[in-house]
Copies of this chain bind each other. A is one copy, B any other.
Amino acid sequence: MSEVLTYIDANLGRIRDELYDFLRIPSISAKAEHDADTRRSAEWLADRLRAAGLDVQIEETPGHPVVLGEWRGAGEDAPTVLIYGHYDVQPPEPLDEWASPPFEPTERDGRIYARGSADDKGQLFMHVKALEAHLASSGSLPVNVVVLAEGEEEVGSPNLVPFVDANLDRLACDVVLISDTGMFAEGLPSLGFSLRGLAYFEIRVSGARSDLHSGEYGGAVANPGNVLARILASLHDDEGRIAIAGFYDDVLDWDAETRAQIASLPHSDDEYREELGVDALVGEEGFSTLERLWIRPTCDVNGLLCGYTGEGAKTVLPNHAMAKVSFRLVPNQTDKAIKDLLEAHVSALAPAGVSIEISELHGGRPWRASVEGAHFEAAMDALEEAFGKRPVPMGGGGSIPIVVEFEERLGAPVLLVGFSLPGCNLHAPNEWLPIDNFEKGIGALALLYEKLGARPE
């Protein structure tokens, strides 16, 4: 065992204690009453990075600050690695569904339960400790390192891209490492190869001047609720495909190799179905469940509101109806193009007696990584050494818009090296991180720095 791994092994108890201090800070970026906590979280992180041996600044933004740690002692010839993560967390509500308090880390069944354990404090802290292990055991790192930790990821990172653009020189790097995702299954390390994009809309249908009595007026005037249902139903055909003309024009026809690789993963539809508590899985015909989740686009209703929604019967003919509808996008779709297609689709339906307004609430581009090359291989090898199993490339159904931004603005590839597990309750009560992944993962990251820093033979 190398000195670095020996160091990690010898310090696991203290490392876990430190993590728990980090997790105890309720750095809920969405809530102004936790602004002081969020700043405390940034300062705590800065202190730990400094203690590890990095130069650290807390960089102000219009919102929560960026913590920027640098270590450039590997020399000009060595590659530079940018490590990105976030020190803020989701709100913990509903509180009564937590088995233990969200900000009091609790170990049960080999897991660390706490808000932020998986997303993302726990994983960000693994990098801090992997960096410390190198610097403490040998006085140096095999690569130059920039740690960029933001405090606004859970509120849409409004100030991150401007910060990147204003600091392109300091952030210049050869590769970006992000540990904010998961492994495909327990004991099966994984490297992300794709993320879906997002096009999120609000559709508002308006009818008469005011709400009407459904008896006095029903039958003679358009009902925005009925019209909205008709619009939403028109978005899919009977085979689960999205029925908007042109919607699939830009969809990447993925290579046979990727599809074969996805098919080779240990996935059981029956188990997945049972976990979800449904009698059938439903999606686009002609694709497997994992393909539907990773490499095919979707259209989901996220919210509906119209008329009377309380107890019992109220005979109102509502004059407004609202839907939130989002599309998950795959390469090479863009939210801009999808908005145009959706508007054309709804215009063509041309329902009479109502007006329709479509506004885009959120958008983000899909991402696809190269699964070849030295960086990817370095990560595969490091994870294999640490976990004793060859990693699998894994798609992502969700969206991390900053990934594409980093690639474009910094001109560096992104490696998604994550350690949470399916069902770890991201953004939900009882979030957890496996202790085993936490401990092995620190070693994996330490090894990864080594492999990224290795000179070509």
Contacts and interface: CB of A to CB of B under 8 A. Distances in A.
Nearest to A312: B361
Contact of A217 (B293, B303, B308, B317): B293
Nearest to A287: B219
Nearest to A322: B309
Interface in A205-257: 207-223, 225-226, 228-236
A86 interface: no
Interface string A314-331: 111110011110101000
A292 B220 contact: yes
Copies of this chain present in the complex amount to 2
B397 A278 contact: no
A101 interface: no
Given A278-B354, A280-B352, A427-B213, A300 B196 contact: no
A232 B236 contact: no
A214 B309 contact: no
A276 interface: yes
B221 A278 contact: yes
A221 B229 CA distance: 20
Pick the most buried of A218, A223, A303, A426: most chain B CB atoms within 10 A of its CB.
Answer: A218
B233 A198 contact: no
Contacts of A282: 220-222, 351-353
A235 to B, nearest CB: 8
Given A228-B229, A229-B232, 11 more contacts: A200-B313, A208-B277, A209-B277, A213-B426, A214-B302, A216-B426, A218-B328, A226-B301, A229-B229, A280-B353, A302-B318
Q: Give 7 nearest A-B pairs by CB, closest first.
A: A215-B398, A225-B301, A233-B233, A229-B232, A209-B277, A304-B306, A219-B292
Interface of A: 196, 198, 200, 207-223, 225-226, 228-236, 272, 275-284, 289, 292-293, 296-309, 312-318, 321-324, 326, 328, 351-355, 361-362, 396-399, 426-428
